[in-house]
Structure 1
Amino acid sequence: MDCFALCGNGHCGVIGRQCQGKPCGFHKTKEEQELSLEKARERLRSLPEHQQDAIADKYYGGVRRW
């Protein structure tokens, strides 16, 4: 299995139980996950400064991680 969330013990790091394989709605390869995260970071960078500041304050302790 090549899912980004698969832990060494066969459990899913997203849902916390035994991996169900590709039928799982969370299944993504590591490459697909990285592309998804980059798309989210691009979206955050496209927001106005005040919105970026508000998101950083609320979820990231005031640090912009994008």
Structure 2
Amino acid sequence: MDCFAVNDRGKCSILGSGMCQGKSCGFHKTKEEQERSLEKARERLRSLPEHQQDAIADKYYGGVRRW
């Protein structure tokens, strides 16, 4: 499978419900698509005002900006 979420045993690491369903799965993305999606999210976080970035970092990342 070419999905980013498939582990080395061919199981889905997102749903935890067994074998990968392939392209019919709503979570299916290639590794490249997933990386682009994550980079887009990081860009969005970086575009926020400093106080919002600080609030998000405090709430979800232990005060560390991971973007």
Q: Percent identity?
A: 82
Which amino acid is the alignment partner of residue 51 of structure 1? Q
Alpha-carbon distance between aligned partners in 1 of 2:22 and 2:39, rounded to the nearest angstrom: 24
Give how far 1:9 is off: 1.3
The CA RMSD over aligned residues, in Å, is: 0.6
TM-score (norm 1): 0.96
Q: Match of 1:39?
A: 40
Give how far 1:8 is off: 1.1
Give how far 1:12 is off: 0.5
Which amino acid is the alignment partner of residue 41 of structure 1? R
> Is 2:25 aligned against 1:28?
no
Alpha-carbon distance between aligned partners in 2 of 1:48 and 1:25, rounded to the nearest angstrom: 32
Which stretches of structure 1, 4 residues or longer, exceed 6 Å deviation after superposition?
none
What runs of 5+ residues in structure 2 fail to find an aligned partner? none
Q: Match of 1:13?
A: 13
What runs of 5+ residues in structure 1 fail to find an aligned partner? none
Give how far 1:52 is off: 0.2
Which amino acid is the alignment partner of residue 9 of structure 2? N
Alpha-carbon distance between aligned partners in 1 of 2:33 and 2:20, rounded to the nearest angstrom: 18
